[in-house]
Amino acid sequence: MGEASLTKTFEFSSSHRYYRPEWSEEENRRVFGKCAYPNGHGHNYLLEVTVTGAVDPVTGMVVNLVDVKEAVEGVLAEFDHRHLNLDTPYFRDRIPTSENFAITLWGLIQKALPQGSRLSRLALHEDEDLYVEYRGGA
Amino acid sequence: MGEASLTKTFEFSSSHRYYRPEWSEEENRRVFGKCAYPNGHGHNYLLEVTVTGAVDPVTGMVVNLVDVKEAVEGVLAEFDHRHLNLDTPYFRDRIPTSENFAITLWGLIQKALPQGSRLSRLALHEDEDLYVEYRGGA
Amino acid sequence: MGEASLTKTFEFSSSHRYYRPEWSEEENRRVFGKCAYPNGHGHNYLLEVTVTGAVDPVTGMVVNLVDVKEAVEGVLAEFDHRHLNLDTPYFRDRIPTSENFAITLWGLIQKALPQGSRLSRLALHEDEDLYVEYRGGA
Amino acid sequence: MGEASLTKTFEFSSSHRYYRPEWSEEENRRVFGKCAYPNGHGHNYLLEVTVTGAVDPVTGMVVNLVDVKEAVEGVLAEFDHRHLNLDTPYFRDRIPTSENFAITLWGLIQKALPQGSRLSRLALHEDEDLYVEYRGGA
Amino acid sequence: MGEASLTKTFEFSSSHRYYRPEWSEEENRRVFGKCAYPNGHGHNYLLEVTVTGAVDPVTGMVVNLVDVKEAVEGVLAEFDHRHLNLDTPYFRDRIPTSENFAITLWGLIQKALPQGSRLSRLALHEDEDLYVEYRGGA
Amino acid sequence: MGEASLTKTFEFSSSHRYYRPEWSEEENRRVFGKCAYPNGHGHNYLLEVTVTGAVDPVTGMVVNLVDVKEAVEGVLAEFDHRHLNLDTPYFRDRIPTSENFAITLWGLIQKALPQGSRLSRLALHEDEDLYVEYRGGA
């Protein structure tokens, strides 16, 4: 019957800053623009999490949504209402762009999902007009 | 010149219930939560229907939207303002989850579309934060 | 400094049916259309709740959002994933239109909100294109 | 012919923190929840700005949109990609709640709009489900 | 019990041009910007129509939605897929701004609505970030 | 680490007409419906532009958003507030359907993007319920 994909969207709020200390102020402003301002700014992130698999003939589900919520909300608790650079260990020497943030979330969510659930796609929306999609590494 | 895909979204409203009669009440509540309540609940479903193909050099279209609307609205008339378990024949012994509902709609829409139109994707949104995607069986 | 209004939106899902037993089938179908189908249909309702008042100079708030959420979610628990006609006592002899549903919710939410919080508006969205607004009785 | 109202929406991004230094940590967490975290969090704010007036019979406009954009974008430049508590002078001793932020924006935008344009309403959306409305002081 | 308001949203598509023939090209471009281009441009307009009144105790409705749809769709048929300046008689010597368009629609819809239905508000959205509201003349 | 995709959405407004001069009026109306009206109609188009590639370990970006905006806005300036048939050279003998428009935009945007940025997908939304997706030719 083929596979189906279930996508659940989560909302949370974080602040961040784009800055490379080994660069001059001018270079930081040229590359990162207003994202280099010292005290950071923030977003309401929307995260789409997609799990793909066969549909269980008994429950009619690819995965129980309750398990997806428990797994993903557990991961997001570390980021919600936090400053990505200052409050989490993931962006000490990586810029917390949406690209890098999506890759970090991929690793954490993959581990948190129930055994047998295949994470196939993350889409991280920074605002209404911009999102990054990640489908895992090679 | 490659292929293009046209996606049209349709809205309709149905009610449903998740319940397996061979299970105890406790088991139904544990697996299906509030979806197991006896009198059902409902949704405004949004259904994205994608048709893929070459662009006709005369009309500039993959498929005439009028034909897509006629085909899909014909299919949805059986479900709109209906109770999926009680008013349709498709969920007598299958749970009307979004996964199973999308698979049922796939078969019906594929048959209803005009000859030569290739259905490539359905996305069924149960609410603003949850959708299922189906691209057909193997 | 004048007053400000805080509006929080809540989502829930219910099913319902429009039907007057003293009318013929034909009359019910003529007035209520597909909403008269016997097994009901459903919606993802969005409810906007507005509280108006002076801004507290210490907290900077019209009302603490935590209190609004506790009050409104307590009220909505009675309706979420339920059939309005069959599972609640409010629509035994009133049609569960959005108008009547909004009036019912007004009375319940007004009582549930913390002392001193003035409910000034409810907007109940039945789907993306239709909503009812209620600001209380004379 | 009566008056008409023109509403233009603007998007920007800021971070902030809710905290009263004269309160204990416990009190701050009890009242402000996760908003009291030390390094702040952020939002993509949406600001609706409404100007009301007679429709000019020559231009057909209440106000020229170009003038509204110039005025409001000038005001928002001070807040975009900034930390409201640390980077602006308005929240040194006031909590940067949406209520207080809307009142601050009201004063600044009213001054920046072209002579003769009557600001009648601000709606400041902190996220998809929460907004504050302000219509000026008494 | 007070009054309730029912708001239904309609979508249609038109093109238009802002131009005063008695002005120079420069003056037209200065005041109307890109809207003065000779061949016009277009929008997907969203029109919110609000009817206010007492709730009928038998039907539970302020007004039957079927009647609102019939009235408003009848009015919009004259504008949908049309060029406002060239295809309709309303903008021969008035600029088809959203303000003027809303006032024109007000008169037509008020006449088309069923006897006893009080039109209380129109909101005409030109795009996602801009709308005009009209509540009738003095 | 695999590749990531960045998608930025742009809004613009154009008018157009579907018409084949070698066909009769009846044939044009039968195939193109209201889109064949002589003076055209218009849309607020939303264009999603996706660039795919490896994430730069220094900047954390697939591509600098500033470069994407400069490239795409440069392309869209030729279409914004314009009539596709009359004001641009691309639809002299091709119908400006969303399919053909997306293919035209693909060629122009691919050339305009900075060296090394791989355009992987365009999605052109004609209104809220209809979009065309194009991923390039074979």
Domain ranges of chain A: 3-134
What's the average model confidence in pLDDT over C58-65? 97
Interface residues of chain A, partner chain D, Cβ below 8 Å = 11, 13-16, 34-35, 37, 39-44, 80-83, 86-87, 126-128
Q: Which fold has domain C3-134?
A: Tetrahydropterin Synthase; Chain A (3.30.479)
Contact F83, F21 (CB under 8 A): no
Contact: C95, E59; criterion CB under 8 Å: yes
Catalytic residue ranges of B: 35, 81, 126
Burial of C38 by CB count in 10 Å (0-12 exposed, 13-18 middle, 19+ buried)?
exposed
Position D1 pLDDT exceeds 70: no
Are the beta carbons of E97 and D8 separated by less than 8 Å? no
CA distance C42 to C84: 10
pLDDT for residue A138 = 59
Spell out which residues of chain B touch residue F100, defining contact as CB-CB under 8 Å: 55, 60
| 8-state DSSP, C128 | T
pLDDT of residue A137: 83
At residue C138, the pLDDT reads: 59
pLDDT at F2: 80
B chain contacts of residue A55, beta-carbon cutoff 8 Å: 97, 99-100, 103
- What whole-number distance in Å separates Cα of residue B54 and Cα of residue B67? 16
> Per the CB < 8 Å rule, is F80 touching E41?
yes
Report the alpha-carbon distance of residue D108 to residue E22 in Å, rounded.
Answer: 37
Whether D126 is catalytic: yes
Task: Say yes or no to pLDDT of A1 above 80.
Answer: no
Of A99, A134, A137, which is closest to F61 when you measure between CB atoms? A99
CA-CA distances (angstroms) from residue A20 to A31, A38, A85?
Answer: 10, 11, 12
Mean pLDDT of the region A100-122: 96
Q: Token pair for residue B2?
A: 């490659």
Pick from C41, C80, C83: which is nearest to B13 by CB? C41
Token pair of E32, please? 């109307």
Kindly indicate the confidence band of residue B2, based on its pLDDT and cuts at 50, 70 and 90. Answer: confident
Model pLDDT for residues F11-51, shown as the tens digit of each residue: 999 999 999 999 999 999 999 999 999 999 999 999 999 99
Chain E: closest CA distance from residue F45 (Å)? 8
Q: What pLDDT does F16 receive?
A: 97
Query: Taking the CA of residue A19 as centre, how many other CA atoms within 13 Å lie in the half-sphere pointing to its CB?
Result: 16
Q: Kindly report, residue by residue over D81-122, the tens digit of the pLDDT.
A: 999 999 999 999 999 999 999 999 999 999 999 998 999 999
Chains D and F touch (3+ CB pairs under 8 A): no
Tell me which residues of chain E have a pLDDT lower than 50.
none
How close F65 comes to chain A (CA, Å)? 9
Contact D116, D122 (CB under 8 A): no
Report the residue count for chain C.
138
CB of D43 within 8 A of CB of A44? yes
Q: How many CA atoms lie within 13 A of F20 on its CB side?
A: 18
pLDDT score for C2: 80
Q: Give me the pLDDT at residue B1, please.
A: 66
- Average model confidence (pLDDT) across chain C: 96
Residue F137: its pLDDT value, please?
Answer: 83
Average of pLDDT values for D10-31?
Answer: 97
Distance CA F131, CA F105 (A): 14
Residues above pLDDT 70, as percent of chain A: 99
Q: Is E113 left (phi over 0), alpha (psi -120 to 50) or beta?
A: beta
Please measure the distance between the N-terminal and C-terminal CA atoms of chain B and give it in whole angstroms: 27
